[in-house]
Structure 1
């Protein structure tokens, strides 16, 4: 009962703090002209305020202060330095574009504060693929790679209105449920706080007259929180929490984690593969993301594309949780690989057709434009009487 009361108060407080302060951020950004200018890759056409992620930072810091007593190993102390580093880097990147290398160094520094905390240590995969023991140095390598991948994957899906918010909300709801059932209340409350921030921000992100983007300031912070929750989820042990409280076997936790993060992970892997195949850098900008394909090729609106991707994420997670309650690892791995290969085939196919289609559309528009100009300049024939 105490958790429920705390969760409700925390959610309402975080939601109101974010909702009431974002308009102030919009006002300052517009006054200082820190707007995001659209370019050839942008999905928006007008200058739009950014830096919405500033509200995430101070809301999380306030929340961590009030829920610190729920942390069994003082995890909150290790989170604040990482949050601060990514906040500063994201803020600077939104105002003065930073190189991928500079951001990567900052991310490594931020996650190092988390990895040194023993409560996040992954000592075993609980029998997943018959892996029962993980050396400490291997945990550091796996944990570091995992956190960096999640942070950058989430950052890359922030390309259209509402998508990053919806995907983040879905992920936070799932992790809130998992950590509540595992009685890890500190992490459940952290997920609730982040969820409240995203829900409050979502209304502004899809608004037509008070629009704001979360920017790298926000996406790096949200990605950092998601990576922390994922690392803690993989660190759960049956001896401490038991499989009975969770709706799936803990030995299937790695596959459940992949299903929760399927949208950013699949999109990032697909885009990187396309860029490398086209002999470009993996971080070179383009419009080959899944959400761009849905908008450019299928003609969907931002809200429709975001809603479809969010629903897919929910369905995918529910399916794997059901399978994870009984199925063995091998069957789930086969199914996961099959689904990913099917999705990859569909969206790779659209990518190759999309380039040709776009060229044809542009060519047709140019021809129509030239025809229109020709018709305007053509002299009109005078009518003659019979």
Structure 2
């Protein structure tokens, strides 16, 4: 057996695959096949090998296993803003799906800074990760040119789509969710509806804004350009947008934010300035982050299945790693569900 140092600092022997094979009376290749969960192994042999592994305390070398299979069993996950409450549930879905298949996760936060994004991606490529998942991140052509794209591993994008990247994509029904939310507001008598846009680089933000515009047009209501404010998905941008809207001579009866963080920023401003929600102005968001469900907030919003989004992306990536690049690129769109809570009510009469 190989020598190792235990917790007390004294030398001990670490069992090897040869020790397990000898204890079972089988070849090392058979032990390796059992541990790799290969098929066509007799159940009695499989049970014997696993029993001896437990008895001897054998732990397979991830490095040796990776060299044999040209795998590192690690996945890089790149997120734009780890502080955004939307992201942790997505990451949890990714992590638990990967862990179930004995893969580890390397998490990188870029703060949506291009230089950091490129640096992290190149570092992950250099580490030979088996795959990449980009959460609300995309690549511009300039960023792609700065990377060694020839070494890019299988990749899945979440929410934000990029034409530069050839990879699978997971998103939600952005347009359908916003249209359902807008119909809810129309049914409550709202016509003067403001909209706070998401990040300019986000394809999902564009889809949500397009759905707002098309919904207003379908109902025959004009879109007041003063009612459309550019945000960046942060609570602070929601605060700034709300202050701008409250300075207008004619106030909206409802404010829709492209995500919940901005909507919560709006709620804080309205409360501080004595505006009653929903009696004076209704407020709604998108994502259904955990804070939106709190009784003190009770935000009407569109629920995005965040855990399922992450789990789906991880499953697609693992399948892509196993099946190879020949499989056709897949686009998965998950359902969005309107959650009506306490921040929306009937429009205030003129």
Shared fold (TM-score, shorter chain, > 0.5): no
Query: What TM-score do the two structures reach when normalised by structure 2?
Result: 0.27
Q: Which has the bigger relative contact order, CA under 8 A and spacing at least 6? A: 1
Structure with the largest fraction of helix: 1
Structure showing greater Rg: 2
Structure with the largest fraction of strand: 2
Query: What TM-score do the two structures reach when normalised by structure 1?
Result: 0.25
